[in-house]
């Protein structure tokens, strides 16, 4: 399977953390941007790596502060997804 298709199949499991489809699409864009960016200059790195317009910067900042993204659910889904997708991962410290 193509790497990005496999990546997307895992990211889709995080959908319950998003109240709206638009929020999920911003989450997907943000995660992809963090995977492929060449620097660590925050939101601007994500905007730059995709060649988004200047208005996208503010929209992306809004996404990170949006009540439509439930961080508690996202955290639970992320842990559940990682543990089930990668069974060999260490689960205790």
69 bridge partner residues = 18
What's the pLDDT at 83? 86
User: Average pLDDT of each block of 10 consecutive residues along the chain (93 residues)?
Assistant: 90 95 96 92 92 92 94 94 82 62
What's the pLDDT at 53? 92
Measured at the CA of 13, the angle between CA 32 and CA 8, to 5 degrees, comes to 35
What's the pLDDT at 46? 94
Q: Would you list the domain boundaries of the chain? A: 37-72
55 contacts 7 by C-beta, under 8 angstroms: no
Helix (H, G, I), strand (E, B) or coil at 87: coil
Q: In the chain, which ranges are continuous DSSP H helix?
A: 3-11, 21-36, 43-50, 54-64, 71-85
What's the pLDDT at 7? 93
What's the pLDDT at 93? 57
What's the predicted TM-score (pTM) here?
A: 0.86
32 contacts 5 by C-beta, under 8 angstroms: no
């Amino acid at each position: 399977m193509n790497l990005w298709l496999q990546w997307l199949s895992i990211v889709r499991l995080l959908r319950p953390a998003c109240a709206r489809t638009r929020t999920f699409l911003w989450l997907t864009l943000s995660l992809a941007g963090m995977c492929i960016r060449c620097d660590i200059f925050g939101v601007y790195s994500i905007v730059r790596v995709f060649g988004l317009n200047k208005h996208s910067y503010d929209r992306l900042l809004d996404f990170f502060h949006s009540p439509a993204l439930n961080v508690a659910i996202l955290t639970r889904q992320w842990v559940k997804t990682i543990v089930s997708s990668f069974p060999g991962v260490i689960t205790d410290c």
